[in-house]
Structure 1
Amino acid sequence: MKILVIEDEKELQQNIVDSLTKEHFVIETASDFRTASEKLDLYQYDCILLDIMLPQGNGLTLLEELKKQGKAGNVIIISAKDSLDDKLKGLELGADDYLTKPFHLAELTARVKAVLRRNLLDGKNTLEISNLILDLNERTLLINNENVPLNRKEFAILKYFLLNQNRLVTKTALAEHVWGDHIDQSDNFDFIYYQIKNLRKKLQLAAAALEIEAIYGIGYKLVAT
């Protein structure tokens, strides 16, 4: 899952990034209104942590734009402003939650996971398709009730495919979702081919009822066998 942290306090931003990275999320950051606006226009995120008071603008303005685009339902406002008016306005604009600074990172992580369950998985902790069960909490894959070990990237890739079953997934979209900001540093997609190749082999050996189909020159699609 990919999360955008919009926070101008450098130390807090880094603490949030470190905490959520340990939970195996892909994290991108923005420290001001303009950068946040550009990233929200260019990329899709599973969850957005949004500070209200930002250099160059107000976080609620970003939330208003997200609402117009129908993307405000995965936002958690994090702000030192604890006034009822700001909280109500944020929730009215579609934010899922509101957390007042200072807060414990464990609580933030719990709320992020709750938002992801509600918005992406209808509150469930597992993805069950055909003979596959992907447990998002335990980070395990069962095929025909047998455990299939996956590395961190393989798990993230399979989860993305399961959430987008029968949809065309471009190589760029997959790379941005699983690798985040660091994708810009890559000259090619060889690292994706390597992970996909290994994941395909594991699914085949475990007799999965799904396979990753290559769409030449574009990307991949997860389909039933």
Structure 2
Amino acid sequence: MPATPAWPPRSAPRLFVPGPLTEGGVVTLDGPQAHYLLRVMRVAEGDAVILCDDLTGEWAGKVTQAGKRDLTLDLVERLRPREQVPDLWLCAALLKKDRFDLVLEKATELGVRRIQPVLMRRCVADKLNLERARAVVTEAAEQCARTALPELAEPVKLDALLRDWPAERTLFFADELGGGPAAAAFAAHLGPAALLVGPEGGFDDAEREAVRAAPQARPITLGPRILRGETAAIAATAVWMGSIGDW
């Protein structure tokens, strides 16, 4: 006797939608999300779609009506509650668009709680399209099956970031001039944490001095080589997750 296929199938498309979602609820999608499901994924009536609302978790929905430009889904069951996200902020210097897109995408996949773009003297970029950045983050969360979106903050200047830094959060400062080995430093300071990573040209002397003067700062090294800004951000996040995160 053939086995009953799992429902919803693992291949079902995933989308973040406005919430809150509730069992037995009805969701209507139009615009780009409907286009994606109808024209790209070719969903039809009876097909499953996984929906997340960044509030209640992950839900299985069944398509009950598929039109030309919109579709309706009935929520069948909650599959998972909203995940507990590791308490890590990534404070990354603003980079050129494609490179910062990579930081946004990989930081989301790796599981950070908050992404804080930082403006520094040697930053090549000085603006961030937040709407577009949120789309990058959302698509990455859908792809990697997160049930919680990372908080994405507006860019802030380094001096303002340091001035308002919360006393209870350790600030690991990826300093190309040296510091403690990253993994050991992470393990020695449990609790709320953040990573500060510099721009293409690195920190200037005044910025480095200001960061090191912050009482919560802990200089770290990411090895013997000088890493690009996006590489440093991704590598440091991966090491933290491997040391005391949710890996």
TM-score, scaled to structure 1? 0.35
Larger proportion of helix: 1
- More relative contact order in 1 or in 2 (CA 8 Å, sep 6+)? 2
Greater C-alpha Rg: 2
TM-score, scaled to structure 2? 0.32
